[in-house]
Amino acid sequence: MIISKDASLLGFNTFGIDVKTSLFVEYNTVDELKAVLTSEMVSGKRMLHVGSGSNLLFLSDFDGVILHSGMRTINLIEETDEHVFIEAGSGVVWDDFVAYTVENGWGGAENLSLIPGEVGASAVQNIGAYGVEVKDLIAKVKTIEISTSSERIFSNDECRYGYRQSIFKQEFKGKYIVTSVIYKLDKDPVYQLGYQHLEDEVRKNGDVSLKNIRETIIAVRESKLPDPKILGNAGSFFMNPVVPKQQFLELQSEYPTIPHYFVSESEEKIPAAWFIDQCNWKGKQLGHVGVHDKQPLVLVNKGGATGQEVVHLAEEIQKSVKKRFGIELYPEVNYI
Ligand code: EPU
């Protein structure tokens, strides 16, 4: 176990905000986690569990305990004619997990290549990209209830997944800690190439295969999204708004080329990037924070930014989109 006082959180937020926590604890087993939860260390203190902090924005130093999982094992726990069930510890780096599935020829996770973060957060956040959401692969989520230190296993249904949503972000926010996730993968991969021009991009690189899809997606992401090691950021800053069909049709009659994705008979999803782009935010900078020039959904730390500065720019963007389109943008990033 690692326990450190007044610890820097620079390594635990991809925005690169220079803040500290009163106490940082990294545990390596479920038993260690239970021991921490029932100890003096955390009693009565504010507590936050983080992964790699790729979806967090710290607004100030954290007065409390930051917990992190050091559980990094991956095991095949069940196999049928068609599927494998793989259990990954919450501290496994998400993209290491994807690389492992692709190397073994198991399909399902390849479209989610290079998403920053760890396995535990994947199940809380329902990460998604290129037409796939992690909920499509999750069989079960193993957790510890914080108040009782007891184990509880959630089925996929019980997690109540939606676009970037789960029960762990809503009703049970701050109540459970994910310890491992069991993913169901296909032995005979079913390729998901329907997103925009993905299939064309993949075919340009050769025959369709898990490896080719992974490499293509990595190249697409690297061309659009800034590397947090070079330019601090937390990926998409806002969620893509899901709007009632009628509102979408009104926007479409005014802007015939507006991009959109079908959600249901009554709702459409519109890329937040399009609204932000239309409001001419691309490449703009306020203080130490900028709007990424290749993907305006990403806000970047140009060096030395504070959380408050990021919020200020985010609010200016929200106001301008609201004023021009009547659309509310909601942050995907969690303010702490
Ligand atoms: N667009 C513009 N201007 C731009 C960029 C994009 O108008 O400068 C419009 C275009 O019409 C484009 C559309 O936005 O077709 C969608 O852009 P993109 O394919 O880059 O995807 P996104 O909707 O902006 C979402 C996820 C990303 C994920 C990509 C690919 C959310 C909030 N974001 O972005 O996830 O990688 O799709 O599937 O759903 C993340 O969550 O951190 C993340 C990067």
Q: Which residue, judged by its Cα, is nearest atom 43 of ligand 1?
A: 236
Cα separation, 70 vs 89, in Å, equals 8
Fold of 232-335: 3.90.78
Count of all residues that appear for the chain in the document: 336
Pick the CATH number of 74-223 from 3.50.50.60, 3.30.300.30, 3.30.465.10, 3.40.50.2300: 3.30.465.10
Q: Is residue 273 lining ligand 1, measured as CB closer than 6 Å?
A: yes
In three state form, how does the secondary structure of 241-271 look?
Answer: CEEEHHHHHHHHHHCCCCCCEEEECCEEECC
Q: Is residue 296 lining ligand 1, measured as CB closer than 6 Å?
A: yes
Domain with CATH 3.90.78.10 in the chain: 232-335
Residue closest to 20 by CA, chosen among 32, 11, 31, 29: 11
- Extract the tokens encoding 225: 């999204």
Ligand 1 center to residue 271 CA distance, Å? 6
58-104, pLDDT tens digit by residue? 999 999 999 999 999 999 999 999 999 999 999 999 999 999 999 99
Prediction pTM value: 0.93
Which ligand 1 atom is at minimum distance from the Cα of 274?
A: 7
Q: Is residue 258 lining ligand 1, measured as CB closer than 6 Å?
A: no
Q: Which residues, at least 6 apart from 203, have a Cβ–Cβ distance to it below 8 Å?
A: none
Cα separation, 244 vs 52, in Å, equals 34
Q: What is the residue-level pLDDT of the chain in tens, covering all 336 positions?
A: 999 999 999 999 999 999 999 999 999 999 999 999 999 999 999 999 999 999 999 999 999 999 999 999 999 999 999 999 999 999 999 999 999 999 999 999 999 999 999 999 999 999 999 999 999 999 999 999 999 999 999 999 999 999 999 999 999 999 999 999 999 999 999 999 999 899 999 999 999 999 999 999 999 999 999 999 999 999 999 999 999 999 999 999 999 999 999 999 999 999 999 999 999 999 999 999 999 999 999 999 999 999 999 999 999 999 999 999 999 999 999 999
By most ligand atoms within 8 Å of CB, the mutation choice from 193, 239, 274, 275 for ligand 1 is 274
Q: Is residue 236 lining ligand 1, measured as CB closer than 6 Å?
A: yes
> Around 273, how many Cα atoms within 13 Å sit in the side-chain half-sphere?
16
Partnered with residue 242 across adjacent β-strands are: 269
Ligand 1 center to residue 292 CA distance, Å? 12
Catalytic residues: 164, 236, 332
Distances (CA, A) of 160 to 39, 77, 135, 234, 235: 31, 24, 9, 24, 23
Which ligand 1 atom is at minimum distance from the Cα of 164?
A: 39
Task: Provide φ and ψ at 226, rounded to 5°.
Answer: -70, 145
Ligand 1 center to residue 156 CA distance, Å? 26
Q: Is residue 237 lining ligand 1, measured as CB closer than 6 Å?
A: no
Cα separation, 317 vs 291, in Å, equals 10
Domain with CATH 3.30.465.10 in the chain: 74-223
Residue closest to 324 by CA, chosen among 261, 269, 255, 256: 255
Q: Which residue, judged by its Cα, is nearest atom 36 of ligand 1?
A: 129
Q: Is residue 240 lining ligand 1, measured as CB closer than 6 Å?
A: yes
Cα separation, 210 vs 101, in Å, equals 9
Q: Which residue, judged by its Cα, is nearest atom 40 of ligand 1?
A: 236
Cα separation, 266 vs 243, in Å, equals 9
Judge: domain 2-69, CATH 3.30.43.10.
yes
Domain with CATH 3.30.43.10 in the chain: 2-69
Q: Is residue 239 lining ligand 1, measured as CB closer than 6 Å?
A: yes
- Extract the tokens encoding 240: 């893509």
For residue 275, what is the enclosing H or E element?
A: helix 272-278
The count of other CB atoms within 10 Å of the CB of residue 332 is: 18
Give me the residue label for tokens 């998403």.
115
Phi-psi region of 287 (alpha: psi -120 to 50; beta: other; left: phi over 0): left
Distances (CA, A) of 1 to 36, 53, 111, 153, 259: 10, 19, 34, 24, 48
